[in-house]
Structures are given as structure tokens and as C-alpha cells.
Amino acid sequence: MVSRLKIHSGLRLWEFPDQYVIEPTDGSSASCLDISRLDGSMKLIDQVAECNSLRVPKIRSIFGVVGMLKLLAGSYLVVVTESESVGSFLGHPIYKINSLKFLPCDHSLENPHEEQKKMETDDYSRLLSVAERTTGLYFSYEINLTLTAQRLHDLGDESKLLPLWRQAEPRFLWNNYMLEVLIDNKTIFLNPASRFHSFQTAIGRDIVDITLIARRCSRRNGTRMWRRGADPDGYVANFVESEQIVRMNGYTSSFVQIRGSMPFMWEQIVDLTYKPKFEIVQPEEAARIAERHFLDLRKKYGSVLAVDLVNKHGGEGRLSERFAGAMQHITGDDVRYLHFDFHHICGHIHFERLAILYEQMEDFLEKNGYFLLNEKGEKMKEQLGIVRTNCIDCLDRTNVTQSMIGRKLLELQLKRIGVFGAEETIRSHQNFDECYKILWANHGDDISIQYSGTPALKGDFVRYGQRTIQGVLQDGWNALARYYLNNFADGTKQDAIDLVQGHYIVAVSRDMAPVPRKRGLEAVANFPVALTVILISFWFATMSVKQVGSGYKHLLFSLVWAGISVAVAALVRANGRIFCNRPSLHKPRS
């Protein structure tokens, strides 16, 4: 029998000069985890060694061990330093991670390579600081958050006895890569999920508990402009599984839907323009990649209804046409493709016209249903298929649409349980209706913040049931914020994501090539400096023009300064991509 570090509540971290010791604080007899700061090795010990004047530890409270990350100069232990209880999942408490910390280990390696030390200090340490600010991670000490209620119920008796990491769905395990060392050392860990929201309200004498949980796939995780489309294996960007769970009167029911980028290789590389051009990569591979993607969905979810919300014309239209073409080779009894031009039909304010879309998918939803357990825990219904929704970002239009679908299914569930009458709707109960709108609005905002850096657009409709002037103005501000983040911040954030999730493996050997350094114009390209030069040159040109009457030399100066301003502006415009903040761990296309 293998001993393990069991995490039930808080932990105490002892930081000695030569070791870290993690000790449970719940009074149990569980072992302590000893991690050497000399070579990063781990072992389980019965208790913390006695302290003396030469070994005075720094003691801090932590709330979980996320994993271990191997870099050039050594390893880093990743721990949760702040967390808060935010609700429950199927009766088990859920915690939100408010703060992460990367603690250095084995940095006493003999004769570290100078280039490695410089790269660790200059590059990777900065990325770890970005990773420490990761938002939207949740965990439980008691239940596996990576599985839906239906999959948890269907686990066999043997599977239920396995430790949480053996039950987990790797796609939705944010720290899957960093856990490898802990798994090898047979220690237990946390299983962060993406998003979690819930509320409780009363309908008459009945108390209804609604939970909405989002699980983000880590296979093609990243930021809005640096993770688009699919990879050659069919894994798509911004793939999120949203599960809506209702519990009342002993019944438990859930409904799952998914979102994800259009499943073929396409990109939209930032170049300082407000809306960069869409580019389809290897179009001849689109059908094969889409087929692989939907084959995986069928295995995991059953029948699939793919709802495509993008525009029929323009740049989006080219992508939609490619998607529809690829789906011609896939659609059948268990896969169906449905295009709905959201902007053309609904515009910017008439979102009630989504009823047209619901009429087209109603038969699929009724046929494939939802998951339902009765008071005895017996399965009465199961969900047999999934609705897959996408727009360009799979954020704004997608969230409005998914909230509509979730509302319709929740009404069906409440009628089935016997809470609602045949003609009763959520809107019949004002408090319930308002709470439900806020639930989905917060859900959409949090998914959007993680992918784009800002709350979702069109969130006022989800939150209030109608478009508002304040909401339109807020959308304008968020659009500008997205432009700034996409062009000047997300490249570094993408590198941090790739580093901690194992999409980029650090070359530890001296014989392996380091991260490629920028050369030529790319090495000196700096947009703030270029903008400063343009503005100063323009200002001097303007001042010189005003003094032309006192001598022709001022006209010459004006032309020179104007020429510098125009030349720098033209240089930036022609080379917009390299003036943006781009990922450096994976070389993007020029």
C-alpha cells in the first residue's frame, strides 16, 4: 500500500534553507511531503524535523500543491497561497484559486551554464510572474471537477475507488503537465477547473440550486489572437464544456453544451489593424481535420449538432464556407450542421429572434435530452448528444446563444421534475429570472476574460434581457481594450500559458537549441518608441510650418520632420506584425 500526502483542508509550508516540507493542518496522521531545494527530489516523511538556530524555517499557509515545473536552472514548486470557498458541486465544497506561487528548487546545480542562467532570469522568470496571475481556476478536495454529473454517476465501482488524478479527464486538467512529477512520486494533488458559478432561490416552497461550471480544454489553450482554429489533430481553440446543474427536492439534473473554434486550420495574426485578415492554413486539410474533431466529439458526447453563428459574407463568410464544405463529408444521422447568421438575423438589438434558431434545433434537443437522477439516485434520463456552438471568438454571440439554450432546457427539466406547470417559464418568477440572467452573464464574462482579456460583449442582453445604452458603451470600451491586449500584451501571456501547460518544453541540455533570439528589424521594433518618434516629428513639423514666414530654412525643417514622421509611420504600417507583442517560444508566421 502506497502512502500519500492527503489534502483535506489547509496545509502548512515549512521553508528551510535546504528543503520545503508540506504538512497537513487538519490533525490527521497523513504523511508530510519533503522536497529538496538542492536537487528537487521528493520523499514522504512522518513529521517535520526539529528546528534549531541554524535551520530556522519560514512558515506559511498554503491550500494545495499544483505541481512542479522544470526549467533551465532548476525546478519550481507551484502552490496555492490564497483560496476562497465559492459554492458546491453536487454537494461538495468548491474553492477558487486567488493566488499562485512558483517556489524555486534545486538552484544549487554545479556550474550552471551562463546562457541558461541569463535566459532563466530574463525570459522564464517574467513568464512565471504572468502565470502566477492566472485567473479562473477552481478546485475541490473531495470531488473530481473534470467530469460531468452524468460521467461521475456512470463511473464503475472500481473507478470510484481510484484517486482523483486517476479519474480525471486530462483535457480539463489545467495542471496536467505540472503534475507528472508528483504522480511519479505518488503524491495527491488538486484538479483545477475553469469557471464556476451558482445560485440558490425559491420557487414557491421549493428551493432550487443552480450551478453552472465551465471546463476549458488545455490541449489548444491560449489567447484570442494567438490560438485560433484547430491543430492538425483536430483540437480546437477556446474549447469549453459548460454544464448546467439543477438540484431540488432530491432530484439532480444536468445539461451539457460545448463551444469551440471552427475545426480547421485558420489564423488571424495581429498586425496593428483593428480587424486583421483571416487566413486559412492548408485548406486541403480542412475536411480531414474537421472529421477528426467530430469523431472525437461523437466518442465523448454522442450525437452532435454544430451551430455556426458567423456572418455569411466578408472575411467571416470565407471561413463559414470552408466550415460548411468540410461538414458535407461528415454530416449524417449522428452529426448535423446548422448555420445561423447571428448578425444578419438578430442585428445588434433583436436577440429575441434567436427563437428562430431554437425552432430549428428543438427536435435535436428533445431527442437527446438531459441527465436526470431521482430522489434515490437512480438514473431516469441521460443526455445522448451535444450542441456545439461557435462564432469567431466563441465568446459574445456564442454566450448569448448558449444562455438561450440553457434557459429552454432548464424549463424542460423543471417541468419534468414537477416544479413548473405546462405553460410556466423562468420569466414567470422575477427573482429566479434575474438570478439566472446574472449567472449566465458572469459565466460568459469569465470565459471571455480568460481568452480575450475583457468581459463578453453583448453581456447586457444576457444580464438584463435587453440591450442598454450603457451596455453598448461598455462594448465599445471592451473592444478597444481587446485591441490593446491583442496587439501589445497577449504574446507574452501566450508564452506563459505554453510554458506552464507543457506546450513548450524547456531545453535543459546545453546541446539543445535555446529560444531563438530576435534579429534585424524585429530585434529593435518597439511600437511605443515608434509612436513617440512619429508624434514628436509631427509636432516639430507643425512648429516649423508656423515659422515659414521668417525664412525658407523653416520650410526645409518642416519637410524633413514631416518626412521622418511619414517614413516611420509607413515602416510601422508595412511591418505591423513585428511591432506587436508576439509569442517567442513558438515562432509565429511572419
Task: For residue 374, report the phi and psi dihedrals to the nearest 5 degrees.
Answer: -85, -175
Closest among 197, 91, 118, 121 to 445, alpha carbons compared: 197
Q: How is residue 316 written as a grid cell? A: 467571416
pLDDT of 487 higher than 80: yes
| Helix intervals (H) in 328-468 | 342-346, 354-368, 396-417, 430-452, 459-464
Closest among 121, 432, 95 to 248, alpha carbons compared: 432
pLDDT of 384 higher than 80: yes
pLDDT of 27 higher than 70: no
Q: How is residue 386 written as a grid cell? A: 451535444
Under 8 Å between Cβ of 257 and 302: no
pLDDT of 589 higher than 50: no
What gap in Å lies between CA 511 and CA 152, rounded to an integer? 46
Distance of CA 375 to the CA centre of its chain: 35
Closest among 404, 172, 242 to 309, alpha carbons compared: 404
Under 8 Å between Cβ of 94 and 85: yes
Average pLDDT score over residue span 520-536: 77
Dihedral class, residue 413 (left if φ above 0, else alpha if ψ from -120 to 50, else beta)? alpha
Longest dimension (CA), the chain: 96
pLDDT in tens, 41-67: 788 787 887 776 666 788 888 888 898
* Residue 132: predicted pLDDT: 93
Sign of the Cα torsion 197, 202, 208, 209 reads positive
Instruction: Quickly state the pLDDT bin for 291 (edges 50, 70, 90).
Output: very high
Average pLDDT score over residue span 63-80: 87
Under 8 Å between Cβ of 264 and 234: no
pLDDT in tens, 415-450: 999 889 888 999 999 999 999 999 999 999 999 999
Under 8 Å between Cβ of 215 and 145: yes
What gap in Å lies between CA 475 and CA 511, rounded to an integer? 50
Average pLDDT score over residue span 534-560: 80
* Residue 166: predicted pLDDT: 80
Instruction: Quickly state the pLDDT bin for 346 (edges 50, 70, 90).
Output: very high
Sign of the Cα torsion 328, 405, 370, 152 reads positive
Q: Quick one: DSSP state of residue 549?
A: G
Average pLDDT of the chain, as a whole number:
86
Q: Quick one: DSSP state of residue 276?
A: P
Percent of the chain residues topping a pLDDT of 90: 53
Amino acid at 417: I
* Residue 9: predicted pLDDT: 59
pLDDT of 8 higher than 70: no
* Residues in a beta bridge with 165: none
Sign of the Cα torsion 458, 463, 467, 471 reads negative
Q: Quick one: DSSP state of residue 294?
A: H
Average pLDDT score over residue span 500-511: 73
pLDDT of 190 higher than 80: no
What gap in Å lies between CA 245 and CA 536, rounded to an integer? 58
pLDDT of 106 higher than 70: no
User: What spatial distance separates the first Cα and last Cα of the chain, rounded to whole Å?
Assistant: 55
Q: Quick one: DSSP state of residue 52?
A: B
* Residue 118: predicted pLDDT: 65
Which residue reads 483571416 in cell numbers? 278
* Residue 512: predicted pLDDT: 45
Q: 32-36 and 42-45: which strand pairing?
A: antiparallel
pTM: 0.89
What gap in Å lies between CA 577 and CA 589, rounded to an integer? 9
Task: For residue 86, report the phi and psi dihedrals to the nearest 5 degrees.
Answer: -125, 0
Residue 298 has a CB neighbour count (10 Å cut-off) of 16
Helix 430-452 to helix 396-417 angle (10° resolution) is 140
pLDDT in tens, 489-503: 999 999 999 999 999
In Å, what is the CA distance from 266 to each residue of 231, 284, 286, 411, 459? 9, 12, 9, 38, 27
* Residue 546: predicted pLDDT: 79
Percent of the chain residues topping a pLDDT of 70: 87
Closest among 243, 197, 244, 253 to 413, alpha carbons compared: 253
Burial call 140-168: b when 16+ CB within 10 Å, e when fewer: bbebbbbbbbbebbeeeeeeeeebbbebb
Average pLDDT score over residue span 170-179: 91
What gap in Å lies between CA 545 and CA 558, rounded to an integer? 6
* Residue 195: predicted pLDDT: 66
Under 8 Å between Cβ of 290 and 409: no
* Residue 551: predicted pLDDT: 67
